[in-house]
Structure 1
């Protein structure tokens, strides 16, 4: 092949995002790429001319194996929104000038909704400017909210961590002979896929969580308080899973009902935090019950020691599939996963038009959310294959070993 490859990572990290990076790098080198560059901190880093030659870093099988087991974004990330082409042609001229200087022919970006917006804009500009650089999106997000794809790499490992952690919280919550309430806040701005994973905790060795609230349905605080009061009256300790993004009927996030510091990123997204704390305080003050809030926060996206081997494998495969598609001439596409079998579970890779994926949110179907504040067996059946199997960490001195730049 002629030309070099460049790859970047963007948005919130996951436990397996580096497995996709490994898939891009290894497949590109196996297919004859001369150099494989890594953008430091995504497209923003590229604009600042910050990049490294990955061939110098991933020069052994051990390095690749460590990379697969390393959480967060090895290359660093960003939340940088490219301007519209018509508003800032000079930004795109600068990007393409840098890419041409590096003799780049294939550009890969690992990320979620906002990252696919970057691929959309760059591939559109390549067409109008006459560039032959191929642009491909590699899916990543724990939120599982990308359109077209059955699910996203990163989701399975986060779901596995959430389900396992909920089982442990439930065991801890039932030790006393008086009722208490634990409200667990789980990530998910507008889509409740992650919070729904709490339902997997229910099994023959675990009672399961008592209530689950997703952002797809308006949150009724009065109804919530009645449910908690009635369940606690039975003398049972409760564990409740709530999405950070649940909203009341007037459109406000629940965390906005309390005092909070509002922070907004480049894409206009509010920083989510405080939903569980607000509800826990309300339970304690109005119902007189012992209550605590647990915010899983970044733990659910960086717990590589609890990652799913299925997730790691699929993350690696979508990276490789993106390289294959680009080398065969595709551009302006995103690799997607298509489930072809549930028993046994099997997914294949395809490509989808980035214009149908960027800035489109896939939410939990309403028919998978029950009227009694829970989720259906169909949703549990959808999630369960994604959390299967493990890839043991490489332990050094009693702790997992990671790869860093």
Structure 2
């Protein structure tokens, strides 16, 4: 590798996204890149010529290890949708003039579906102009909804956090007895795919029965049936724990959270901000059953809990970052790195490439056969798929009893 590399992060952060950044940086340096630039706040920052020389911030092997253990997006993220090439070619001309000025040989973007849309458009423009810069995508999303890859870095750590948290919630819920029972509703991220909420089933084991019900967004949600199920459960036990996806919808397509005005923001890609699902269901239960209710919204904790990161997840995140640099160095462009699962026991995986046109804007949902027939839980096949991804721990670097992260060093 003779030129320079630029790397950016986009979309929602994960506990492993910075491990991919570390993989890009370490591999680029090892392969002889002159400079590795980091876009501040993704492609949006690049358009404003906001970037840093990563060598000024990652100076030792300890810095690399700290970066791998640092949650959120170290470079900052964005949700910026590039226009279609034919609609605004001036934007592309500006981006490529900046790349030329920085002598960029390889552009790497770490992100999910929307980020792969960015890679697709930039690589298409480069082909149209005969531009030599290579464009590679590195998968990232806790939602695990990227097509063609077995799973996405970030998902394993989020699943580990969800399984652990739900187990702790169940343990807490059995401590007190209420006259009409207690129903705890845990709201878990996931717009159209139930990979995250399904991970609540990981809490089930010899010492825990797991949640009583799990509702994924792949199937229509029936509120009346939900109320009946809760009544039946409360007739048998003193507490009930339910895991619901923030994206569950009624048969008519409306999000449940829309029943409580929980959708008031739409991002550049047209995604509604979903919140309030658990609160709405809890109010209905309190009104119709009179039981005590409580809601817990895991929210950003699902993606920020680096103290519970999966070792497998951190390792694979580092590997896909490095694989993108290797692919670009060998002449590939317009591709996304994927993870191929080789075996479950022992768990083994490898990396490969897939054309970004077949990945961008395509969502991978939970297979119907991995959801129980009545739509209120996930199957053993789902658990067998997820469990290898949460194995192992990554010890934080502790300073004064609190984890230490990599921070931006001032010049």
Q: TM-score, normalised by structure 2?
A: 0.98
Deviation of 1:177 after TM superposition, in Å, equals 2.9
More displaced 10-residue stretch of structure 1: 54-63 or 174-183: 174-183
SS at match of 1:63: helix
Q: What CA distance in whole angstroms lies between the structure 1 residues aligned with 2:2 and 2:379?
A: 51
Q: Following the alignment from structure 2 to structure 1, what is the Cα–Cα distance between the partners of residues 317 and 238?
A: 41
What is the match of residue 41 of structure 1? 41
Distance 1:233 1:281 in 2: 19
Equivalent-residue separation in structure 2 for 1:247 and 1:391 (angstroms): 36
Match of 1:253 among 252, 255, 274: 255
Query: What are structure 1's unaligned runs of at least 5 residues?
Result: none
**Aligned-pair distance for 1:234?**
1.3
- Is it true that 1:403 corresponds to 2:401 in the alignment? no
Q: Are 1:383 and 2:406 matched, yes or no?
A: no
Q: Are the equivalent residues in 1 in contact too, given 2:143–2:193 (CA < 8 A)?
A: yes
**RMSD (Å), alpha carbons:** 0.7
Deviation of 1:258 after TM superposition, in Å, equals 1.1
Shift of 1:261: 5.1
* 1:350-401 deviation line (CA, Å, top 9, x unaligned): 0000000000000000111112311100000000000000010000011000
| CA apart distance, 1:3 | 1.4
Distance 2:14 2:394 in 1: 15
In the alignment, the residues of structure 1 paired with residue 357 and residue 276 of structure 2 have an alpha-carbon distance, to the nearest angstrom, of: 34
Answer whether contact 2:217 2:248 (CA < 8 A) is retained.
yes
Q: Tell me the residue number matched to 1:303.
A: 305
Give SS of 1:393's match: coil
1:243 partnered with 2:254: no
Alignment of 1:309-320 (within 5 A): 309-320=311-322
Structure 1 residue corresponding to 2:191, chosen from 185, 189, 192: 189
In the superposition, the TM-score normalised over structure 1's length comes to: 0.99
In structure 1, distance between residues paired with 2:19 and 2:63: 12
Q: Which residue of 2 aligns with 1:169?
A: 169
Q: Which aligned runs of 4 or more in structure 1 are off by greater than 3 angstroms? A: none
1-structure distance, mates of 2:343, 2:7: 31
**Partners in 1 of 2:392 and 2:187 — Cα distance?**
26
| SS of structure 1 residue aligned to 2:52 | strand
Alpha-carbon deviations, 1:282-316, whole Å to 9, x = none? 11111100001110000000000000000000000
Name the count of aligned residue pairs. Answer: 405
Alignment of 1:6-405 (within 5 A): 6-178=6-178, 179-260=181-262, 262-372=264-374, 373-405=376-408
- Whole-angstrom distance in 2 between the partners of 1:48 and 1:288: 55
The separation in 2 between residues aligned to 1:38 and 1:327, in whole angstroms, is 18
